[in-house]
Structure formats: structure tokens, C-alpha cells
Amino acid sequence: MILVKFKNLDKSELARDAVHNRIEGLIEKFGDLKDSRIMVTLEMINSPQQAGPDLFRVKLYVAGGRYSGITVIKSDANLYVALAEVAEHMLEALNRFGDRVRVKERKKARDITNKLIQQALLSKS
């Protein structure tokens, strides 16, 4: 489920569709995301105290499922560039997350193997 929230920004169907297109591309590559709740916040950051260009911030948060807890935040002067950067960085984060799980499983398997070898050596003595 993809939820799109607008903060300090007028709601736009074009922006909502762009978010859905980007996120659905990630869901196709990482099928476990189908079971997750994905929240995307689109916001405009501007400060009345400091003059300067307006920035758009895109925050993507995955709640539930295998990839629960992953958060990616990117800002840019263009909302769609920030969205593209979030999608790209999210792809990297999801790949790293999968690698981390695989490394932990391998370490666990090595530990079990070492423990069995030690027990076998002790039983022979």
C-alpha cells in the first residue's frame, strides 16, 4: 500500500501519479514490498526568517514487512528530481538490506558448523 502525504504543498494528482510510478517500479524489483506499507511525504521547505530558494523534500518510509524501518530522505529545488533521487537511493538501500540479511545467515551457518566440529573433536578426546 502506497500512501502519499503532502506537507506545506498543494495536493497534485501529477505528483501523486509520479510517486506511484516510481514506487511501483521498486515493488516490481522487490516483491516483498507488496506486503509493506510505504509512506511518501512530499513537502516544500521554505523559511520566512531566511531568504533563499524553496526546497522540496521527499521522504519515503517503509513500515511493516521484510524491509520495515527503511527511511530515505532527499531534497532538491525540483520536486521530481528529489523523487527520482529517493527512488534511486531506495534501490541501493534495499539491495544493501538484502546483503546484510544474507551475511547474517552465512555467519550463523558458519557458527553452527564450527560448534559441531568442536563437539566432534571433544567427543573423540
1 DSSP assignment: -
Which residue do the cell numbers 520495515 mark? 68
CA nearest to 40, candidates 29, 27, 52: 27
pLDDT at 57: 94
Mean pLDDT of the chain, nearest integer: 89
CATH code, domain carrying 31: 3.30.160.100
> Cα separation of 71 and 79, whole Å?
18
**Cα separation of the two ends of the chain:** 59
State how many domains the chain has. Answer: 1
Per-residue cell: 6: 503532502
Report d(CA 103, CA 112) in Å as an integer: 14
CA angle 99, 106, 61 (to 5 degrees): 30
- Give 79's pLDDT tier (boundaries 50, 70, 90): very high
pLDDT value at residue 102:
77
Spatial separation of the C-alpha atoms in residues 90 and 100, rounded to whole Å:
15
| pLDDT, mean of residues 61-89 | 93
Percent of the chain with pLDDT over 90: 55
What is the tens place of the pLDDT at every residue in 14-70? 999 999 999 999 999 998 899 899 999 999 987 666 667 788 999 999 998 888 899
Report the pLDDT value the prediction gives residue 124, as an integer from 0 to 100: 78
Task: Give pLDDT, residue 125.
Answer: 66
Could you identify the residue written with the cell 524491509? 67
Supply the range of the domain harboring residue 102.
Answer: 2-124
Q: What predicted TM-score, i.e. pTM, was given to this entire model?
A: 0.75
